Amino acid sequence: MADIMAKVKQLENEVKALRKLQAEINGHLTQKQQLTTNLNENKMVIGEIDLLESDATVFKMVGPILARETVDEAKENVKKRMDFINAELKRIDEAIATKEKTHEAQKERVMALQAALQKMGPRAG
Amino acid sequence: MAQISPDQLTVEQLNAVKQSIEEDIESLTNSIAQLRMAASRYGESKESLKAFEEKNKGEKILVPLTGSLYVPGTLSDVDHVLVDIGTGYLVQKSIKGADDYVARKMSMISGNVDTLQKELVESRKKLEAICMMLQQKVVGSAGK
């Protein structure tokens, strides 16, 4: 009987760990979503800047201040932002891939425990 | 979408698929509504550009300092506006340039709305098909 209790407790812990992993993966996915949206907005901005004359007046909003920039400076800045976002996206994708592997392994452990409990169950009544 | 024979799916599985499609439809409908709201805001901007005419130069205007505080002023520059192009960047454009910008944005939005509409129609068809499969299954098992 104590055997079964121990196994049930173990199953509970493993399931908790599984849920925690899933929550972490979901957190990463949300972050990825936000980064992708940000990246798209920056793509639109670069598109608009490309249409400008080289002497057009561009302002960047820094807090409550409008700072004047040249078209080239603006292009550089937006490109740098996009490079940064792409690097972040790559990092998050790698983190998601690793977590998913751990998640799969954990799922196997949980299923094995559940199967073991099934076998012990009917005998203990 | 892979063709799965309806016989292979149980009623529970069909219901799960049905729910997933219903969620897709709701999400698509919301996105289309948001795009339409954005388009109407651009439409308002287009309208306000019309106020920038030579004859309005020197006209009295009210300038917002905060959400509820306005100060009186005069319209001095009827040739340029600052356009917010995203991520904190503003570009000075001529009235014509600003008009073109708004037209570009509105046409992009309407393109996106069309794409989403097509997906919505597809999803509704899928939902109908699944509902029919469900009915057949339920009637089939009741007849036995």
Set of chain A residues whose Cβ sits within 8 Å of the Cβ of B88: 60-62
Decide if pLDDT at B6 tops 70: no
Decide if pLDDT at B58 tops 50: yes
Query: Residue B85 and residue A60: Cβ atoms within 8 Å?
Result: no
Q: How far apart are CA A27 and CA A35, in angstroms?
A: 13
Amino acid at B110: S
Average pLDDT over chain B reads: 90
Question: Is B102 in contact with B46 (CB distance < 8 Å)?
Answer: yes
Q: How far apart are CA A59 and CA B93, in angstroms?
A: 12
Residue with tokens 């000075």, as numbered in its chain:
B92
Largest Cα separation within chain A, whole Å, is: 84
Q: Which of A16-20, B7-11, B30-34, B97-101 has the lowest mean pLDDT?
A: B7-11
Q: How far apart are CA B18 and CA B126, in angstroms?
A: 9
Q: Which of A106-110, A114-118, B7-11, B102-106 has the lowest mean pLDDT?
A: B7-11
Question: What pLDDT, in 10s, does the model give residues A53-98?
Answer: 888 899 999 988 999 999 999 999 999 999 999 999 999 999 999 9
User: From the DSSP assignment, how many helices (H) and strands (E) are in chain B?
Assistant: 2, 4
Tell me the sheet residues that pair with B64: B70
A73 touches chain B (CB under 8 A): no
ipTM of predicted assembly, 2 dp: 0.74
Beta strands in chain B (DSSP E): 60-64, 70-74, 80-86, 89-94
Question: Is B99 in contact with A63 (CB distance < 8 Å)?
Answer: no
| Tokens linked to A53 | 């004359």
A33 touches chain B (CB under 8 A): no
State the count of interchain CB pairs (< 8 A) between A and B.
Answer: 44
Question: What pLDDT, in 10s, does the model give residues A14-33?
Answer: 999 999 999 999 999 999 99
Question: Is A78 in contact with B86 (CB distance < 8 Å)?
Answer: no
Decide if pLDDT at B71 tops 90: yes
Q: Which value, in Å, is the radius of gyration of the alpha carbons in chain B? A: 26
Query: Residue A60 and residue B89: Cβ atoms within 8 Å?
Result: yes
Query: Residue B91 and residue A49: Cβ atoms within 8 Å?
Result: yes
